[in-house]
Amino acid sequence: MKKLFLIAACFSVVLYACNKSGAKPYAAVSATIDGVDENFNTADSLGYKNTATVYSATVTAASNASSTADKLELYIANPSQLAPGTYALTTTWNPPYGPLIVYKLNGSTNSSDAYVVDYTGEHPAQITITAISNSNIQGTFSGVLVNAANNGTTKTITNGKFDVGAN
């Protein structure tokens, strides 16, 4: 499980490296987490990466502007250009491709407060892109996230929606 957290941390670094220079990100992200509705409407960062081998989109949004806010990170990487469609986690995950969802409680960097997708395939997760342009991406997401510290706890995300971009 520490390997999963390390992978999530690496994707987070990519997320910050890909932020468009000078563009101000905005976010309208919401989800039901373990039956509780939560909004993540404070944009932290947004990035697009298009190379010959990896196409990706990523967003980090927080529940508020404080350093102790809950954060949600969404990341999709694909070997071909991103387009509307469903990007589902599979048991044959092939790094760096696939969806990544990370939920961090209280702005913590402690792995016991972070939940990530389960790359063993035991718990499903998916991100669906419904619209994408050079400055905006919209869609839905859901899944069961596992505790990054491998303590056996999970977080179930349903009704996830995102509309993020850069002005």
CB atoms under 10 Å from CB of 36, counted, come to 7
* Structural domain boundaries in the chain: 1-16+27-118
pTM of the prediction? 0.82
CB atoms under 10 Å from CB of 9, counted, come to 15
- 8 A C-beta contact, residue 122 and residue 114: no
Q: CB neighbours of 90 closer than 8 A, spacing ≥ 6?
A: 98, 121
Q: Where are the alpha helices (DSSP H) in the chain?
A: 2-17
What pLDDT, on a 0 to 100 scale, did the predictor assign at position 16? 39
Q: How confident is the model at residue 59 (pLDDT cuts 50, 70, 90)?
A: confident
Most confident region among 26-30, 78-82, 98-102, 155-159 by mean pLDDT = 155-159
Q: Read off the pLDDT of residues 90-139 as tens digits, 9 standing for 90 and up.
A: 766 666 788 999 999 998 888 788 999 988 778 889 999 999 988 889 99
